[in-house]
A and B are shown apart, each in its own frame.
Chain A
């Protein structure tokens, strides 16, 4: 994948203090194209696709929604808390505004955690961007696969990712 001028422009918007206080990249200093390509390779290695991750995360978020920010135990394993905040966050790709509000998940089996919001899921599903290393919103495909117990899909071609 090539780092186009368009990706340069998007990566600038991902810096801290532009669209969000801490940005989208954490301490990751790789080019955006490389970040996306590396995670795509991980998905290929695992034999899973982005939709498997986002659909499962959305399902968990839905089950914790409408509870006025109360924590809920889902599937006797995941502690989920959905926070509602005022306002919307713009996508760095300029393809929409997404309601704020984080979902915090603690996997009681592994002790590992995930944090995401509506924009996180959009960036994964539409742009293959899982967050930079060190970003608290990074959904590492390896970690997600382990926490969410995702099984490989039959089709392992790059097009299915």
Chain B
């Protein structure tokens, strides 16, 4: 028995000494000093202290790459091209990168450690993304599971975005959630309303940020936002447009319609089909009805899929309602926002009506 105990003690002591040596070595040798991050071939250069992740280092310089998990390596969204200095691709990155991305030096910035000078490439529009420390101006219950939040930006600050884009909202640690977490929500306000941001949030059962919004966030609280992000916005054409949304997908469509009014775009007919299950899921109806009255180019069509009560709205699933409202749609343009299932079903209907796929724009909630 004694030799076994001695062996265990010796092994434990050896492990302890090795750990100590590693810690000492890290202190002396893992000091990477000041490193330079070159963005887009010299468009921007940052001097940062080495040792942190690329995502964190960029954020410290106010360059925000989209990230859904706060740098935990679990969402795969903080991608950028690392042209030089990124080190070898890590096994933690490969599940999130396809072959083409791997060949093009695309990396997960949260997994790349800045250990020396590094050269990266990011989409141009990311350079205009800003962080805002806002104050909750109001929280409105729109339906039983949808809230509207208005965030007031700090005095003197404004946000520039395209109607249809989204922002990342950060929750603070609460209950079992020990770290700040962020999720993307579409902006529902108009770009002209640039001293504030409005978001529409639908409650997701067990969702980390929506639970925070629904159970913890109050008027007057501070909240951190980063944005704008996204490629969903009104294209600059003269085509008639059809917008289709469900649930919180109404948000970017509202922003687009308000923006059309602000910019005086009255030469394009626009019809907004909003799909809901029953009347309790409808919101912003009065506002859209007023817009409809004041702007002859706009039509609002709420549709209820399962409500047998006597109501003035269209009946049926939104795809059926769109299908029976149009003949040929070859010359139209579509803007869709909702769940992947809804988007896929809408795309099928629009294609069957002759709409080319490259004129269907969508935000698939993913």
Contacts and interface: CB of A to CB of B under 8 A. Distances in A.
A84 interface: yes
A26 to B, nearest CB: 12
A30 interface: no
A84 B177 contact: no
A90 B74 contact: yes
Given A17-B177, A86-B365, A99 B318 contact: no
Contact of A85 (B92, B185, B339, B344): B339
A64 to B, nearest CB: 10
B205 A102 contact: yes
B183 interface: yes
B208 A21 contact: yes
A158 interface: no
B341 interface: yes
B365 A94 contact: no
Interface in B28-75: 68-69, 73-75
Contacts of B246: 68
Among B275, B339, B344, the one with the most A-chain Cβ atoms within 10 Å of its Cβ is: B339
Interface residues of B, number: 41
Contacts, number: 95
Chain A interface residue bracket vs B: 20 to 34
Nearest to B318: A68
A87 B366 contact: yes
B325 interface: no
Interface in B265-308: 275, 277, 305-306
Interface in B64-103: 68-69, 73-76, 92, 95-96
Contact of A90 (B75, B341, B365): B75
B39 to A, nearest CB: 26
A100 interface: yes
A13 B74 contact: yes
A74 interface: no
Contact of B275 (A13, A68, A88, A95): A68
A111 B248 CA distance: 32
B143 interface: no
B5 to A, nearest CB: 24
Contacts of B310: none
Majority-rule SS of A interface residues? loop
B350 to A, nearest CB: 15
A122 to B, nearest CB: 12
A20 B177 CA distance: 9
B202 interface: yes
Contacts of A69: 277
Given A68-B277, A68-B318, A87-B184, A17 B208 contact: yes
Contacts of B237: none
A19 interface: yes
B248 A86 contact: yes
Contact of B305 (A19, A21, A65, A70): A70
A134 interface: no
Interface string A37-67: 0000000000000000000000000000111
Contacts of A90: 69, 74-76
B305 A87 contact: no
Interface string B174-204: 0111100001110000000000000000101
Contacts of B183: 86-87
Contacts of A22: 176, 206
B159 to A, nearest CB: 21
Q: Which 4 residue pairs of A and B lie closest in terms of their CB atoms, listed nearest first? A: A84-B339, A17-B176, A90-B74, A16-B176
10 contacts: A13-B74, A21-B176, A21-B207, A68-B305, A68-B318, A70-B277, A85-B365, A94-B73, A99-B366, A102-B205
Interface of B: 68-69, 73-76, 92, 95-96, 175-178, 183-185, 202, 204-208, 211, 246-248, 275, 277, 305-306, 317-318, 338-342, 344-345, 365-366
Given A84-B341, A100-B204, 9 more contacts: A17-B175, A21-B177, A21-B206, A66-B341, A69-B277, A70-B305, A85-B207, A87-B365, A99-B366
